[in-house]
Structure 1
Amino acid sequence: MSPLRLPAPAKLNLFLHITGQRADGYHLLQTVFQLIDHMDWLSFEVDDDLKLISDLPFPTSQNLIIRAAKRLQEVTGCKEGAIITLEKILPMGGGLGGGSSDAATTLLALNHLWQTKLSLDELAAIGLTLGADVPVFIRGQNAWAEGVGEILQAIPLDPSHFVVLIPDCSVSTAEIFTHPNLPRATPKINMRDYLVPHSRHGLTTSGILHNDCAGIVRTLYSEVDQALCFLESIQQKNPDLTSTPQLTGTGACVFMMTPTRSIADKILEQAPFNGFVCSGIGQSPVHSALNLL
């Protein structure tokens, strides 16, 4: 049989509010996950051993892909293995959820290939043990998220296009979330208000929708600050660009929504940074390939 080749799509956080902190140190948040058509690719072949083939610069045993596969073996008692080949396209430490998406695609693919027959709920529970962003990729839909990111509600999002810049740095999520100056008490907003276009526009133009990590990241990583300054300058010169430039996750990637892909292309051509242009997608192509939705 030929290898099963599947994508691992990236996400953008359209905003990220930190609303509190639990006694165990985990942060409570509100965010919207937007899936995009920019992705890693993974190929899977059933084998006796478990092996990852990639160009990643650290031991594969530490990679979320292998950890996800081993966790599925542990939970189900499956004795099968797999040769997994990763084509890494998404930047590491970019806030695009690449590692989490790779882990989710691995769980979905091996659940199919190994015939372990776990439900999406069961796979999402495994994913949460690997990282807070994994469940949204398991479920494969744009989502409103609360809790530590694991309380998900699928939401409809308008068709969208983005220019994404990749500053030449990798942001440490742990460094940002442990920083003493990180805001941790942003008031909660109502999902119903976000879903009403008029209310959402008001939340955006008033600055209520933002990324609580952005201030710290801009202070610690000058490359991120420079990328955001570039997008902000573009927006100021073009009144048709009404979307505020944002940091996704804890960064380092930054983005701006644009009315069309062609406008995003023109912005990227001017940018003194690497980057890409993408569009939002309504559901993960992994789920379509495996007929899960």
Structure 2
Amino acid sequence: MNEWWPAPAKLNLFLHITGRRPDGYHDLQTAFQFVDYGDKLKFTVTDDSNIVLNADLANVPAEDNLIVRAAKLLQSTSHCQSGAIIQLEKNLPMGGGLGGGSSDAATTLVALNRLWQCGLKEDQLASLGLQLGADVPVFVRGHAAWAEGVGEIFTRITPAEPWYLVIFPNCNVATAEIFSAAQLTRDCEPITIAGFLAGEGSNICEPVVKNLYPPVAQALDWLAQYATIPRMTGTGSCVFARFDSAQQAENVLENVPEDWHAFTAKGCNESPLHVFAKDFERSLNVTAK
């Protein structure tokens, strides 16, 4: 089969920093939810062991791309002799806080584990994903999650699944710059999952990003005309607002300034990748019969 596998975007519904560790990393609290919009990848299994990525990504050498690194890591871990030609349809902006690169890596692990018949379990794939980036495991596991620690300790959650309008104000935020900023608040009082689901929580990085990146501040101010509590995802630069219906989100989308990239999407507590993977497995079982 030669189908397009989804690599969905994620939104950080809130982000708190509760402390800083001796090693320099930050203790976090955040909540991830997927949306039904993202990149797409197509995989063609080959008899040789080469990994070939067809993608038009400026300033990202193929060997440094998380997709190639994920494929090679799975290949070496499972002692797989096969290779793959991977085609990427890039829809998510880089540096926007939507997790595009991490999602691409997770889709590569999940898809090639099946296509190469490696047989690794979800925990094993998540462990490989953590070697590639802190966000990769949540995409591998494929369920909306509460995350703590440095973002690697997950608890499944089931928040509401509204419609979102997401705006990329055409600027890229450097995560390292935000986490190293002197003015960043690093002592948030921890909140509970119940508190978050009841409406507590904010993005503690927003004031820093707004100060350093005026386009993000402009996008948040613009969204505030149409929705209550527009928010930045992760360390930015994408911002989002929630709506009760697709039509409400689409109505606002029509007014988004032309120099910003924007899209509407449905919140998903089960990742579109996991839905696709389960359908893929069922189709294989039907074919086998």
Aligned to 2:55: 54
Of 246, 252, 260, the match for 1:261: 246
Quote how far apart the aligned CAs of 1:176 are: 1.0
Alignment of 1:136-215 (within 5 A): 136-195=138-197, 200-201=198-199, 203=200, 209-215=201-207
Residues 39 and 90, structure 1, Cα contact 8 Å, conserved in 2: yes
Alignment-derived partner of residue 76 in structure 1: 78
Q: Report the alpha carbon displacement of residue 256 of structure 1 after superposing the two structures with TM.
A: 0.6
User: Partner of 1:67 in structure 2?
Assistant: 69
Per-residue deviation, 1:154:
1.1
Query: Following the alignment from structure 2 to structure 1, what is the Cα–Cα distance between the partners of residues 71 and 261?
Result: 32
Q: Report how many aligned residue pairs link the two structures.
A: 275
Structure 2: state its 5+ residue gaps.
283-289
Matched, 1:283 2:282: no
Per the TM alignment, residue 193 of structure 1 is displaced from its structure 2 partner at its CA by: 2.6
Aligned equivalents of 1:104, 1:120: Cα separation in 2:
11
Q: Does 1:229 align with 2:197?
A: no
Q: Deviations over 1:13-48 (max 9, x none)?
A: 110011112222221111110100111000001121
Task: Report the 3-state secondary structure (helix = DSSP H, G, I; strand = E; otherwise coil) of the residue aligned with 2:143.
Answer: coil
2:285 aligns to what?
none
Q: 1:285 deviation in Å?
A: 2.3
Under a length normalisation based on structure 2, what TM-score does the superposition of the two structures give? 0.91
The equivalent residue for 1:17 is 16
After the TM superposition, which of the residue ranges 267-276 and 32-41 deviates more from structure 2? Answer: 267-276
Q: Deviations for 1:248-271, whole angstroms, at most 9, x for unmatched residues?
A: 011110001112121111212222
Q: Which residue of 2 aligns with 1:239?
A: none
* SS across alignment from 1:280: strand
Note if contact 1:171-1:252 (Cα within 8 Å) is conserved in structure 2. Answer: yes
Aligned to 1:238: none
Q: What CA distance in whole angstroms lies between the structure 2 residues aligned with 1:288 and 1:247?
A: 27
8 Å contact from structure 1 (residues 4, 45) kept in 2? no
CA RMSD of aligned residues (A): 1.5
Please state how far the C-alpha of 1:3 moved relative to its aligned partner: 1.8
> Could you tell me which amino acid in structure 2 is paired with residue 43 of structure 1?
K
CA distance change for structure 1 residues 289 and 270 in 2, over 3 Å: closer, same or farther? closer
Q: Unaligned 5+ residue runs, structure 1?
A: 204-208, 236-242
Aligned to 2:33: 34
Are 1:244 and 2:229 an aligned pair?
yes
Letter in 1 for 2:144: N
Residue type of the alignment partner of 1:275: A
Q: Which residue of 2 aligns with 1:274?
A: 261
The runs of 4+ residues in structure 1 deviating greater than 6 Å are: none
Same amino acid, percent of matched pairs? 51
Give the AA of the match of 1:29.
L
TM-score (norm: length of structure 1): 0.90
Amino acid at match of 1:85: Q
Greater CA drift, 72-81 or 12-21: 72-81
Q: Structure 2 CA distance, aligned partners of 1:23 and 1:115?
A: 41
Instruction: Look up the match of 1:128.
Output: 130
Q: Distance in 1 between matches of 2:35 and 2:265?
A: 6
CA-to-aligned-CA distance 1:142-188 (integer Å, 9 cap, x gap): 11111111111111122211111110111111111111221111110
